[in-house]
Amino acid sequence: MDDGSPSPSTNFRFRRVLLKISGEALMGASSFGIDMNACANLARGVAAASQAGAEICLVIGGGNIFRGLAGAAQGMDRAQADHMGMLATVMNALAMQSALEQIGVPTRVQSAIPMPTVCEQFIRRKAIRHMEKGRIVIFAAGTGNPYFTTDTGAALRAAEMDCDAMLKGTQVDGVYSEDPKKNPEAVRYDQLDYQEVLARDLRVMDASAVSLLRDSDIPIVVFDLHEPGALNKVLTGEGVCTVIGNS
């Protein structure tokens, strides 16, 4: 019986994944806000992977609109500022949903902060079923709690969704010892252990996110989000990336 689920057509190294991208990735050439052309470019890469049979969920940061820590630094109550940052991630999630649906990809947004007139509330079993049916699920509003970053929210959702890996799309093709844009001599790593990332303070993502993924034995894959076809290549084990896992 056909239950609406896609038929796998590709040999994936990672089939079910959570893709974490920054809010800044949605800005394009702008210095603030959402560029729908940038959203469309990202959507095409996600669509190609989904159509090949991958099960994909996303978490998008909110730094292109409002960052909680920045608000707190200006004297705003930290919890209030973090809630504003969570709302920014909902805006980004809705923009990405629009971009995906414009190219025919069924997408659901689930928010940790209930807002039923705008999107679904996060329900784990429902999210898993959406992914099994080939829908992209975008998780918004972080964990729903202040004092936690979207990295930690993404790690939590990756564990809850029983993902094979958490993919972090960045501006460079992996993890380096230093910022390669500032130091051309920076060393690039193909493989790292979770503990190495924490001990060297490599700032791939915050320590609580790395620790959660380590405890759940979910590898972190860091790759260049802007390379054409990069997502599909990483999923099949062919792309240039850094894989962080247990040694």
Determine the residue type at 186.
Answer: A
Residue 152 is assigned to a ligand binding site:
no
Residue 62 is assigned to a ligand binding site:
yes
Residue 150 is assigned to a ligand binding site:
yes
Range list of H helices, the chain: 36-51, 68-73, 78-102, 124-132, 150-160, 194-199, 207-216, 230-235
Residue 144 is assigned to a ligand binding site:
yes
Q: Which two tokens stand for residue 219?
A: 């590898």
Residue 216 is assigned to a ligand binding site:
no
Q: Which residues, 6+ apart, have CB-to-CB distance to 52 below 8 Å?
A: 9, 10, 232, 235
Residue 149 is assigned to a ligand binding site:
yes
The whole-angstrom separation of Cα 137 and Cα 127 is 7
The whole-angstrom separation of Cα 18 and Cα 157 is 8
Residue 195 is assigned to a ligand binding site:
no
3-state class of 138 per DSSP?
strand
Residue 189 is assigned to a ligand binding site:
no
The whole-angstrom separation of Cα 189 and Cα 246 is 15
Residue 134 is assigned to a ligand binding site:
no
Residue 78 is assigned to a ligand binding site:
no
Residue 10 is assigned to a ligand binding site:
no
**Nearest residue to 60 via CA among 24, 28, 7:** 24
Residue 23 is assigned to a ligand binding site:
yes
Residue 146 is assigned to a ligand binding site:
yes
Residue 176 is assigned to a ligand binding site:
yes
Could you list the residues known to form a binding site for ATP, using ranges: 20-23, 63, 67, 170-171, 176, 179
Could you list the residues known to form a binding site for UMP, using ranges: 62, 82, 143-150
Could you list the residues known to form a binding site, using ranges: 20-23, 62-63, 67, 82, 143-150, 170-171, 176, 179
